[in-house]
Amino acid sequence: MGFPEANHDYMGAVTLKNVSKIYNNIPVVDDLSFEIKSGEMFGLLGPNGAGKSTTIRMTIALTRATDGEIIVAGYNVRQRPDLVRRSIGVVLQQTSVDADLTVWENLEFHGRMHHIPVRDRQQRIDRGLEYVELGDRRKDLVKTLSGGMKRRLQIARALLHDPQILFLDEPTVGLDPQNRRRLWEIIRDLNRQGMTVLLTSHYMEEVEFLCDRIGIMDGGKLIELGTLAELKNKYGEGLAIEQQGDRLESKFFPTLETANTYLESLPNKIGITIRESNLEDIFVKLTGRDLDE
């Protein structure tokens, strides 16, 4: 993209350096640093209150970081929020589509806001609605759409001005499994076409299914970062789960085989299950709690 003043020293699509946000003297994001590569699908995973939304809101220039530096698409968010906004598409839970407008009007309005010329605009709206399979609902009021359709419309809107990077804050929260799957396919397809994606989620399967790399946040800090394979390699691919009173105790092993060898070695094998570890096991080990609040 040829906007002026982009700092192309930054190879990553998104860079956060020592970023903090303080609300009421409490750091809700605390000295956060990470980089998202161009074309990457990056997932921020964490329980409610971990600081994921605040991180996204600072990165998309909706709220100012108290400290640190954020670069998006080559632009410093503090200095050029306008150019950052032009380079990104955003799907937030709060800024939902306007229920009293039609599907088409919602996109038309967004297209005008972004000064997309009229002919181009119509083509893009058509293409976008086709892409998210809402072409036959274009004249319908948004309030008549299902939750899944509204979310797809939000995605079409976020893509209308041809962004380089897409930000999705809890994109499938509240959707049934079928609609969630459908959205995953769309997000995955966009990424395969080259779109860089930052998404937040507290759904383990979502992050496992979609993301190239996973950052785990807790208490405003990034407590782990890596691919799923790297994380499994680090914490162990095999797991022994043992009933201890009314609790389940998990013990990691480097491989499934070593976990099985451990089981074999026990005189009493009752109540012990062996299986492959997953992201949720790693999350629970790291934070001491699971995500189903």
Is 287 near ligand ADP (CB under 6 A)?
no
Stretch that binds ligand ADP, among 52-60, 123-131, 134-142, 179-187 (CB under 6 A): 52-60
Residue 233: CB minimum distance to ligand ADP, A: 26
How many residues touch ligand ADP under the rule CB under 6 A: the total is 10
Residue 52: CB minimum distance to ligand ADP, A: 3
Is 23 near ligand ADP (CB under 6 A)?
yes
The residues facing 23 across adjacent strands are: 26
Write down the residue that tokens 């094998």 correspond to: 269
| Tokens standing for residue 51 | 């600081």
Nearest CB to ligand ADP, comparing residues 252 and 283: 283
Residue 55: CB minimum distance to ligand ADP, A: 7
Is 204 near ligand ADP (CB under 6 A)?
no
**What is the C-alpha to C-alpha distance for residues 220 and 163, in angstroms, rounded to an integer?**
28
Neighbours of 208 (CB within 10 A): 16
Residue 60: CB minimum distance to ligand ADP, A: 13
H, E, C per residue of 157-170: HHHCCCCCEEEEEC
Nearest CB to ligand ADP, comparing residues 50 and 183: 50
Hey, is 127 helix, strand or coil?
helix
Q: Does an H or E element contain 206, and which?
A: helix 204-210
Q: Residues 206, 179: contact at Cβ < 8 Å? A: no
Write down the residue that tokens 């976020």 correspond to: 158
Nearest CB to ligand ADP, comparing residues 167 and 253: 167
Is 53 near ligand ADP (CB under 6 A)?
yes
Stretch that binds ligand ADP, among 48-56, 65-73, 235-243, 284-292 (CB under 6 A): 48-56
Is 49 near ligand ADP (CB under 6 A)?
yes
Residue 53: CB minimum distance to ligand ADP, A: 3
Q: Which member of 40, 41, 43, 54 binds ligand ADP (CB under 6 A)?
A: 54
Is 52 near ligand ADP (CB under 6 A)?
yes
* Burial readout 70-109 (b: 16 or more C-beta within 10 A, e: otherwise): bbbbbbbbeebbebbbbbbbbbbeeeebeeeebbbbbbbe
Residue 18: CB minimum distance to ligand ADP, A: 18
- CA distances for 219 relative to 71, 154, 204, 211, angstroms: 23, 29, 18, 22
Stretch that binds ligand ADP, among 41-49, 97-105, 223-231, 248-256 (CB under 6 A): 41-49
Chain centroid, CA 237 distance in Å: 24
What is the contact surface with ligand ADP in residues (CB under 6 A)? 23, 28, 46, 48-54
